Structures are given as C-alpha cells and as structure tokens.
Amino acid sequence: MANIIKRAAFKLMEKTLAEQANVLAIRTWNPGSMYEIDLYLPTVNMGKWTTIPRLKCKVDEFEYRDYTPAWWEAEKGICTLFVETGHNGAGSRWAQRVQPGDELMVGPAHAAPLPSKKGKVLGLVDGSALGHMLGLKQLTDPGEHPLEVGVFLHEDYQLPNALSLDNPEFEFILEPERSSLDSLENWTRTKDLSEYSSVYIAGYIPMVRELRKKLKSRVPQNTTFYAHGFWR
C-alpha cells in the first residue's frame, strides 16, 4: 500500500515537470567532482525570473533534485547548473553520467527572495550553493546591493579562470581539512558585519542552521538573514 501511495505521489510530481531541457555541454573542474551543465530550455521564459530561480529536475526513476541556475542567457534559453558530486546521491550519480544531447524533464521549484532593502550583501555558502549566489548576482544591481561572498569548497580545486576573473566579489576558501562551518565562521572574522544589510547563508543544512545562530549575535538587529539549506 505504501509503495502505491508513493508511486502516486511521484506521478503527481511528474505532472509539474512540464518543460523539456536539452543538455548542451558539460565541464568538470579538476579534481572532477564539480560539474557545470549547460541546459537549453526552449519553452522557459527566463526573462520573467525576478527571484532566485530553482529548477526541479528528474535525475532518476522516482528521484528529483532542485538546482539553481548559476547564470543564464534569456534570449537564447540557455542556463548553467553547478552540481557538486562529492557525496553519493541520486543527483551526483546523474551529473556523473549525463551526456551532451541527453534530454531532461524539469519544472519550477521554490524560488528564493532577493534582498528586501538596499545595502551591502554578505553571502556565506558551500560549493552546493555556488549557483545560488551567482544567480543572486545576476538579478541584483551592484550599485544597490554590493555583494561579497565567501564560498567554502571541500576539495582543492583548480578554479576555472573565467569564474574567478568574472566574479571578483567571490572569495573561494579551499580548506578541505576543515568543516564548512568552521571555515566560513572564521572568514567572517575578517569582515565588519555591521556593514551588511542582508546576509545569505546556503548549502549544507546543519552548517546553515549553526552559522546563522552564531552570527545572529554579531550583527545589528535590523540585518536580514536569508537561510537556505539544500542537503544534509
């Protein structure tokens, strides 16, 4: 009976995946556990994205994962997903086997809000949420929302040159021996937290929860927190 109910729930979910995406290209970082996947979504109007978008993707039978487009070209219908595969999950296995030319069923997932007020924005994320902050950058005016982002990476990656050059607001913290919580909290010690109107924390759920608790006592009361946990 439980399996019947589960299958029925998945069938309902699949009805929300009304868009077909085509995989155009795949790039991997060295070492090869971060994947950049370019998708073509011919029927999605990316020009209407006014909050940080999320796409629900069918990655296997009865398996679905939500990913944030890191950047997109609305006029071409092309976007790029970043998928970190350092843990053994359905999304990681999909990213490791997907090939250019493959088709993928996708649909809208929950979106995340933009800053509600002007001022400096601090981002604190791990590799799973890199796309989240790149998406935020694409949707905000740097004059109204100057952005500074610390990105913890659990491997000693050779970062793509274009990523670093095009995103000087992002500081990549390559400390595979440490936890994301310790590394990001330590990085905030180099910042004057009173300068920021908004703080975004995203990625590993326990890290997001604990880092938010630790920072609440170090920022002004009118600082707005946006916390988004993606995996545990």
Q: Give me the CATH number covering residue 200.
A: 3.40.50
Output the six-digit token pair for 188.
Answer: 């905030």
Q: Summarize pLDDT for 95-138 with one digit per residue, the tens.
A: 999 999 999 999 988 899 999 999 999 999 999 999 999 999 99
Domain membership of residue 191 as a residue range:
121-229
Per-residue tokens: 179? 């936890």
Indicate the residue among 108, 134, 156 that finishes a domain: 108
Residue 62's region, left for phi above 0, alpha for psi from -120 to 50, else beta, is left
pLDDT at res. 181: 97
Split into its structural domains, the chain has a count of 2
Give the number of residues written for the chain.
Answer: 232
Q: Same structural domain for residues 86 and 164?
A: no
Cα four-point dihedral sign 21, 110, 85, 7: negative
pLDDT digits (tens, 9 = 90+) for 27-45: 999 988 999 999 999 999 9
DSSP 8-state symbol, 127: G
Averaged confidence pLDDT in the chain: 92
